[in-house]
Amino acid sequence: MTTAIYTHKDCLNHIAPSGHPECEDRLRVILSAIEDKKYESLDRKEAQLANLEQIKLVHEEAHITAVSDNIPTDGNGYLDNDTYLSSGSEQAALRAAGAMCQAIDGVMAGDHENAFCAVRPPGHHAEPDHAMGFCLFNSVAIGAIYARTKHFCHRVAIIDFDVHHGNGTQTVAERTKGLFYASTHQSPLYPGTGHVHDHGKGVIVNVPLAAGSGSNAFRKAYENRVFPELEKFNPDFILISAGFDAHALDPLADLNLDTQDYYWVTKELMKLADKHAKGRLVSTLEGGYNLGVLDECAKAHISALMGA
């Protein structure tokens, strides 16, 4: 099984203010972890910049302009209380979105069977008209619309196991027939969205989980809710918002997963991709803020993608 890693040094130039959890060391620990010999077969790709047409698949021009116009020459600026900018932020966000589109192209061309985008900033909170929750552009939503418009994938599924609900991604699914969005997330928790009865033009499956739920509840949420609905949807491409902040040691939440839960959910999604989507699957990094366990979670996820 061939797995590609898409990344770029520009994603390290989104420089966090002191003490901010979404820092450049998040990417450094992942890239360092996959230097291990067991990952030498990964097909390593340099992420391209997304072009304006790709970003506009999801985002309004006023939002794109707001990001560009607020890039500081020195230090940090803020688009909201959580979402910062530095001089390298726009390039980093364009690489993150570009990686997703490029990875989809690679899978569709048969260059590799699946891919992980080791990029930042994350994206799933970014709404079509504004940045939010550390996120500038919504890479996974851009990828979903790109797969539909460029590659004529009519049923694109997005699975989001970040501990926070991907409000921006759901907004896009609410507006777009042919998308499937499923999220397991801690509730109540930021951003306060992701209710069980949410619906839209696309298929939306939210499974809010109480703080302290742990591995058993997480796995049952997928076995009883997400996987059956995904089977019915019959996707022709699966995208993953891979946030690792539901881990028991993460500082921003309390869902209490362990590293093996990420391996398990990835393997199960690969089985469904094999069954319904000719194995087509691309994943992108979202959250995960404990540097001591982020690398282990990412390695579990990547090892599963590699068929290990």
**For residue range 107-160, what is the model confidence (pLDDT) as tens digits?**
999 999 999 999 999 999 999 999 999 999 999 999 999 999 999 999 999 999
Q: Give the confidence band of 74 by pLDDT, cuts at 50, 70, 90.
A: very high
**For residue range 77-97, what is the model confidence (pLDDT) as tens digits?**
999 999 999 999 999 999 999
Backbone angles phi, psi at 61, to 5 degrees: -60, -35
Residues that are catalytic: 125
The closest of 200, 206, 195, 150 to 179, measured between CA atoms, is 200
Q: How many CB atoms lie within 10 A of CB 150?
A: 14
Cα gap 36→308, rounded to integer Å: 14
User: Residues 262, 162: contact at Cβ < 8 Å?
Assistant: no
pTM of whole model > 0.85? yes
Share of residues in the chain with pLDDT > 70 (%): 100
Q: How many CB atoms lie within 10 A of CB 45?
A: 19
Q: Is the dihedral of CA 37, 40, 42, 47 positive or negative?
A: positive
Domains of the chain (ranges; CATH) run 3-305 (3.40.800.20)
